[in-house]
């Protein structure tokens, strides 16, 4: 048998993860022109991506995918954006965050930067 020169899956996964973490805000924004979000985005980043595409329902679905702080924080933003302030405040409380006083665009950018590790 010949030995293959392909790297093990764990090496490929590590490489993909390291490349994803190097995505900056501009690359994330640029990716919105594509039909699907980049591979490897967390559910919270996928939610922001779909929100930027104008698909609130898909964004909401992704925000709820995981019951973690990032998902809850994006969930709060999405309900604020739809105008459901009491629901937004519930989600801000769940993730122990003060309700945002930023504009919606500023809050989206703040969230994207934080989730991309650029805060």
Number of folded domains in the chain? 1
What range does the domain containing 50 cover?
41-119
The CATH code of the domain that includes 118 is 1.25.40
Confidence at residue 66, expressed as pLDDT on a 0 to 100 scale: 87
Residue 18 lies in a domain: no
* Closest by Cα among 52, 44, 96 to 70: 44
* Closest by Cα among 33, 38, 83 to 56: 83
Summarised one tens digit per residue, pLDDT across range 14-72 is: 444 444 456 899 999 999 999 999 998 999 999 999 999 999 999 999 999 988 999 99
Residue 80 lies in a domain: yes
pTM: 0.81
Residue 24 lies in a domain: no
Summarised one tens digit per residue, pLDDT across range 71-93 is: 999 999 999 999 999 999 999 99
């Amino acid at each position: 048998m010949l030995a293959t020169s392909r790297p093990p899956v764990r090496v490929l996964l590590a490489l993909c993860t390291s490349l994803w973490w190097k995505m900056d805000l501009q690359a994330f924004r640029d990716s919105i022109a594509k039909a699907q979000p980049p591979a490897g985005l967390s559910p919270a980043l996928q939610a922001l991506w779909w929100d930027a595409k104008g698909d609130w329902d898909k964004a909401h679905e992704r925000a709820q995918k995981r019951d973690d702080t990032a998902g809850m924080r994006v969930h709060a933003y999405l309900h604020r954006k739809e105008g459901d302030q009491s629901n937004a405040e519930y989600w801000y409380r769940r993730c122990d965050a003060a309700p945002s006083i930023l504009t919606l665009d500023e809050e989206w950018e703040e969230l994207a930067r934080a989730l991309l590790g650029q805060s």
